[in-house]
Structure 1
Amino acid sequence: MGGGIGGLTAGLSLLRAGCDVHIYERASRLSEVGAGVQVSPNASRLLHRLGLSDALAATGVKPLAWHQRRWDDGRTLLRAPLAEALEATYGFPHYQMHRADLLAALASALPPSRVHTGHRLTGFTDHGSYVEARFADGPRVEADVLLGADGIHSAVRQGLFGPDQARFTGCVAYRGVVPAERLRHLNLEVTAQIWLGPGRHFVHYFISGRRFVNFVAVVEQDRWTRESWTDQGSVGDALAAYDGWHPQVREIIGAADETYVWALFDRPPLPRWSAGRVTLLGDAAHAMLPFMAQGAAQAIEDGAALAECLRRDRFVPDALRRYEQVRLPRTSRMQEISAGNKTRFHLPDGPAQRDRDQQMTAGSQAWSFNALGWVYEHDAAAVEIGGEDQQMSIRSAAEGRMT
C-alpha cells in the first residue's frame, strides 16, 4: 500500500476495524509536495471518525463558498455557499488543506511500526490461501490481503491485469503555493475561486490555516511526454498562458517563487479491481481528472468501505468482490463527471459559453451544491454485507504515491 493520503487512510481504517495492517511505501520517507487538496463532507466524516477532527481543524480552512468567475472581467457566474451551510446540511465540514498537513495528520495517527518506507514492490503471487509480496531490497512478505494504493502507474494493477497506458487528457497544470502575506493587498475572500476561460481555468484557495494561498492553473495542450508531480515549471510560462486574464489571476501567479507543472492523465473505468486476495484503491483503481475535487476524497472513501467489508466478511475473495461492487459504480460516475467538467470549464467564448454562463448566473440547480448531495451525503462505511466479524493479517504493498 502506498504511503499517500489514500494508503494511510486505508491503513488507519483497517487498524480501527481490528486488522493487522502494515504499509509499504517506495519512497524513503512519507512526504507530499506543495499542493492543496479539498476534503469535502463525504471524506471529513470518515476522517473525523478516525479521530482526526482536531488535526483537520488546526490546519484546514473552511471556505465560505465556491465562487466561479469569468476569466477576463471577474464577473461572478455562480456563488454556492459552503462553510456553515454545507456543514448544516451534511453534518460535517468542508476543508481546504495542504496535502502535507493532511498526510502528517494521518501519519501521526498510525503507529510508526506499521509504516515501512524504502520498499519498492517488484511482484506478488496469490497462493490461494495467502499472498506473497516481493520487494526490490529483498524481503518477502506473506499476508491475507494485498492492497495496491500505488497510484496511476500502479504496479499492483499491472500485476493483476497486465500492462496498460494512462491517457493524456490534453491538459497540463501549473501549481504553486504563495505566502498569503504577499497577496494581502488583494483582500482575497476565504472562498474556493474558479475562473473559467477559453481552453483553460484557474483555481485558488487558502490552505494551512490561511497562511498560504494554493493555486492550480490548468491549460489545454496537444501533447506531453511524461507525467510527474515534481517537474519544475516556469512562473513566466504560467503567466504567459494567462495573458489577458483578470489582474487578480496574474498577480497570484506572479507572486509565486516557483511552480511545478504536470500533465493530467486518467484511465477509463476498470471493469473490476480485484482478483483473489488482491485489490486496488484510489488512483490505482480509478484515476480521474481533478475537476470535481474528489480524487483524494474517493480514495478516503475506498479505505473506509474496504475496512468494513473485510471486518464483516470471513471469506476474503467475497469481501473484496463486495468492496469492488459497492465502490466501482460511484467512482466510475465521478470519473465521467470530472472528465465532462473539462469541456464545461474550457468553453471558448461564444454561444455555448454564454448559455453556460446564463444558467450559472441564474443559479441553475445543475451548478448548485445541492445537486451534489449524492457526493457529500454519502457514508462509504455504511456497507451492508453478511458474514461474521473477524481479525486478519493485511500486508499492503505498493510503490509510488497517491494523488
Structure 2
Amino acid sequence: MHAVIIGSGLVGAASALALHQVGIQSTLYDQVDLVQAAIKSGGVGAAVDFGDSGGSVLLASNALRVLKTLGLLDLVLASSFPSEYTTWFKINGTAKIALDAVNVMKSGGETDPALMAPVQILRSRLHNILMQACQKAGIRCYTGKKLVSITEIEIGVVAQFADGSTATGDFLIGADGIHSAVRRQLFGDSCKAVFTGAIGHIGVVRTKENNITLTETCAFYLEREKKQTAWTFKVSEELAAVQVMTFDEPQPAEGEEYRPYSNLPKESTRLADLMASWGVPKHVEEMMRKSFRISPAAIYDLPNLPSYNKGRVVLLGDSAHGMVPNAGLGLLTGLEDVGVLLELFRRFPDQKDLSKVLELYSKIRVPKGHEASQKSRDMAKQYYTGSSNMGHFLLRVGIFLFNHNWIKFGEVYDCPAEVAAAVAAL
C-alpha cells in the first residue's frame, strides 16, 4: 500500500515513519514553499516550518513510548532535558507549587525508568530528528503543495494541489495542523478552528551566553485576574524557551503562526518591557529580552469532531483535535494517534482490511481526543479566570493530592493495549 500524507510537521513525519515500520510506503506533501520564503526574506535568513521556528515542546511518557517504538528515543533523549518537576508561581515568582512529574508517571502506570521523566526539547530539533529519519528511510517530502481537493476513486484517493499536480495513494492521512485543508475537505468549513483571542510569543534564548540562571525546568508565572501569564522551559544547560501570552493583539493571517518576527529587537524589547510591567522575576524578563528568536503562535481551539475518518481519508494530530496548548497535550495526543494507527496496521496489514483499520482508528481515538481537548480547555480556564489567591490555593491543593497519590493526574496510554481491547470487542 501507499499513503499520501498531507502535512510534514511532527505528526506527519512520525506517521510516515510508523507506516514504514509495517511496510507501507508513503510520501509527504506540505504547503510550505521554501523558495517563496527565501524570496520574501529579502536576503535575510528565512525561518519557516522546515527551519528554526517555535519554542520547546514537552514530551511525557505516552509520547516517549511512541518515539521509542519508532526507534528514535535515544536520539530524542540525547537532544532534550529532563523535566522532573513542573512548577507554578504567582506572577512575581512567589508562592511556589511543584508537581513531581516522575511520581505522576509512576502512579499513572509507567514502569520504564527511562520514560518516567518528561523531557523538554526544541520543536525544531525534534522536527529535524523526524525528518532526518524519514530521509534515511527513503520517504520523500514535496514542498509548495497546497491542497485544493480530495477525490476518492475505485482503487484509492487522489489529492489535487494548487500548482496543478496530483498525488494518488491507497489512503490519505491529514496531518496538516489546526487549519487542516484535509479536514475542511471532509467536513466542510463548519469545522474550522476558532481563534481564542490569545497569542503566545515564544522566545528562545542562550542562557549560558547571557548569564541567565534557570533553576526550574518548567515554570508558570500567573496573575489570573489580569490574564497575565509567562512560562519558562529549560531545554539544555545552554538553551531555554520563554513564552508570554497576550490577549489584545489582532489575529494573524492563517498559516503565519510560528513564523519568527523579522524585527527581533523591537519585539523582544516590547515583550520584555510588558513582562517587566507585570512584575515577573528579572531572569524571566531577561530571557525574553535576550531571545535570539521569537515566534508568535495564535491560539486556536477546534470544536470536537464526531469522527476522524471518512472513506479512505483519516485525520491525525491537530487536524483531528486541535486544542488550546497545555502541558504538551496537543503533541502527546497526536503521537498517540500515530501509535494507535501503527498498532492497527500491525494487526491488519492486508489491503482488504484498510477500511477496518481506519474506522477502528477513529473509534478508538475520538473519545481520547475529546477528553484531551476538554482537559486542555479546563486547564486554560484555570489559568486565566477567577481569583488569583483562591486559584493558587486550589492549585496547591490539587498538586498536593497528585504528589501524594490521593488522586491520579492521568493514566499511561498503552497503544498496543488499547488496540488489543478494541479488537477484542469486535
TM exceeds 0.5? yes
- Cα drift, residue 367 of structure 1: 5.8
Q: Deviations over 1:100-132 (max 9, x none)?
A: 111111122224531222233232211243111
For residues 167 and 251 of structure 2, the distance between their equivalents in structure 1, rounded to whole angstroms, comes to 37
For residues 173 and 388 of structure 2, the distance between their equivalents in structure 1, rounded to whole angstroms, comes to 43
2:162 aligns with: 136
Structure 1 SS opposite 2:410: helix
Structure 1 SS opposite 2:81: coil
Of residues 189, 198, 214, the one that matches 1:163 is 189
State the one-letter code of the partner of 1:101: R
User: Is 1:23 aligned with 2:49?
Assistant: no
1:394 aligns with: none
Of residues 351, 356, 364, the one that matches 1:326 is 364
State the one-letter code of the partner of 1:212: L
Structure 1 SS opposite 2:361: helix
For residues 364 and 404 of structure 2, the distance between their equivalents in structure 1, rounded to whole angstroms, comes to 24
1:281-292 aligned within 5 A: 281-292=316-327
For residues 84 and 123 of structure 1, the distance between their equivalents in structure 2, rounded to whole angstroms, comes to 47
When residues 24 and 225 of structure 1 are mapped into structure 2, their CA distance, relative to the original with a 3 A threshold, is closer
User: Is 1:202 aligned with 2:230?
Assistant: yes
For residues 84 and 180 of structure 1, the distance between their equivalents in structure 2, rounded to whole angstroms, comes to 28
2:37 aligns with: none
Structure 2 SS opposite 1:80: strand
State the one-letter code of the partner of 1:68: W
User: Is 1:293 aligned with 2:328?
Assistant: yes
For residues 99 and 281 of structure 1, the distance between their equivalents in structure 2, rounded to whole angstroms, comes to 18
For residues 139 and 244 of structure 1, the distance between their equivalents in structure 2, rounded to whole angstroms, comes to 51
When residues 169 and 246 of structure 1 are mapped into structure 2, their CA distance, relative to the original with a 3 A threshold, is same
Structure 2 SS opposite 1:195: strand
2:13 aligns with: 8
Of residues 101, 119, 132, the one that matches 1:108 is 132
- Cα drift, residue 214 of structure 1: 0.6
- Cα drift, residue 184 of structure 1: 3.2
Q: Deviations over 1:224-274 (max 9, x none)?
A: 253422152712331343213223322222222452223211111111121
For residues 335 and 388 of structure 2, the distance between their equivalents in structure 1, rounded to whole angstroms, comes to 34
5+ residue gaps, structure 1, are: 388-403
| Contact persistence 2:200–2:296 (CA under 8 A) | yes
1:246 aligns with: 280
| Contact persistence 1:41–1:87 (CA under 8 A) | no
Q: What is the aligned-residue identity percentage? A: 24
Structure 2 SS opposite 1:259: strand
User: Is 1:212 aligned with 2:246?
Assistant: no
When residues 369 and 322 of structure 1 are mapped into structure 2, their CA distance, relative to the original with a 3 A threshold, is farther
Of residues 229, 244, 258, the one that matches 2:258 is 229
Of stretches 79-88 and 129-138 in structure 1, the one that deviates more from structure 2 is 79-88
When residues 356 and 195 of structure 1 are mapped into structure 2, their CA distance, relative to the original with a 3 A threshold, is same
Superposed CA RMSD in Å reads 2.5
For residues 402 and 251 of structure 2, the distance between their equivalents in structure 1, rounded to whole angstroms, comes to 31
For residues 382 and 188 of structure 2, the distance between their equivalents in structure 1, rounded to whole angstroms, comes to 34
1:341 aligns with: 379
Structure 1 SS opposite 2:339: helix
- Cα drift, residue 359 of structure 1: 2.9
For residues 366 and 153 of structure 1, the distance between their equivalents in structure 2, rounded to whole angstroms, comes to 38
Q: Deviations over 1:159-197 (max 9, x none)?
A: 111124321112111110000114535x31142011111
**Higher RCO structure, 1 or 2 (CA under 8 Å, sep 6+):** 1
For residues 240 and 98 of structure 2, the distance between their equivalents in structure 1, rounded to whole angstroms, comes to 19
Q: TM-score, normalised by structure 2?
A: 0.82
5+ residue gaps, structure 2, are: 35-49
When residues 45 and 131 of structure 1 are mapped into structure 2, their CA distance, relative to the original with a 3 A threshold, is same
2:63 aligns with: 43
Q: Deviations over 1:308-327 (max 9, x none)?
A: 22332342222211101111
For residues 72 and 367 of structure 1, the distance between their equivalents in structure 2, rounded to whole angstroms, comes to 25
When residues 86 and 22 of structure 1 are mapped into structure 2, their CA distance, relative to the original with a 3 A threshold, is same
- Cα drift, residue 49 of structure 1: 1.8
State the one-letter code of the partner of 1:344: Q
2:73 aligns with: 53
State the one-letter code of the partner of 2:309: S
Structure 2 SS opposite 1:114: coil
State the one-letter code of the partner of 1:345: Y
- Cα drift, residue 366 of structure 1: 6.1
| Contact persistence 1:168–1:223 (CA under 8 A) | no
Q: Deviations over 1:23-75 (max 9, x none)?
A: 22223564451411111110001101211122112211001310111112422
When residues 288 and 85 of structure 1 are mapped into structure 2, their CA distance, relative to the original with a 3 A threshold, is closer
| Contact persistence 2:343–2:415 (CA under 8 A) | no
Of residues 89, 94, 97, the one that matches 2:118 is 94
Of residues 368, 392, 403, the one that matches 1:357 is 392
